[in-house]
């Protein structure tokens, strides 16, 4: 009976060894799979960062172009307004108060456009460092 018990325990120990070896192989396989997945995720994140960076820079360039176009248009409007003030009298308005009111209104509109343009340019300037990561 002692021999049977020793044989039984020996067989049980051998089965436990085989089971441990299989578990070690599974752990090694899962660890390798995990490492590969982590590397794939890192590469995907890097690719996405580059894509977002490129898109941000492209959008920023577009915003700067639009701002430059707006500044050019405002400059042209100011220049035209100055020319009209010099060469054209407001014939439809006989009252000098009405003329002054129209001129002030034009000046206010141009000033508002300048303020809007300044705010957009300032906002773009503030956001540019955050878009360049």
Sorted by where each begins, the domain ranges of the chain are 2-131
Low-confidence ranges of the chain (pLDDT < 70): 85-95, 133
- Quote the pLDDT of residue 40: 97
In a 3-state reduction of DSSP, which class is residue 121?
Answer: helix
Give me Rg for the CA atoms of the chain.
Answer: 38
Question: 91-108: per-residue pLDDT in tens?
Answer: 555 567 777 888 899 999
Instruction: Give the number of other CB atoms < 10 A from CB of residue 6.
Output: 10
- Quote the pLDDT of residue 95: 66
- Cα-Cα-Cα-Cα dihedral sign, residues 116, 122, 124, 126: negative
Give the contacts of 67 (CB within 8 A, at least 6 positions apart).
Answer: 117, 120, 121, 124
The answer to whether the beta carbons of residues 133 and 46 sit under 8 Å apart is no
């Amino acid at each position: 009976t002692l021999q049977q018990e020793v044989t039984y325990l020996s067989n049980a120990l051998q089965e436990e060894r085989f089971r441990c070896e299989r578990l070690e192989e599974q752990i090694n396989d899962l660890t390798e799979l995990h490492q590969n997945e982590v590397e794939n995720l890192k590469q995907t994140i890097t690719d996405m960062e580059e894509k977002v960076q490129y898109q941000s820079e492209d959008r920023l360039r577009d915003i700067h172009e639009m701002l430059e176009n707006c500044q050019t248009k405002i400059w042209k409007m100011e220049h035209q307004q100055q020319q009209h003030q010099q060469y054209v009298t407001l014939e439809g308005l006989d009252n000098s108060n009405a003329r002054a009111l129209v001129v002030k209104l034009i000046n206010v509109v141009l000033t508002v456009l300048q303020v809007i343009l300044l705010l957009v340019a300032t906002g773009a300037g503030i956001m540019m460092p955050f878009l360049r990561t």
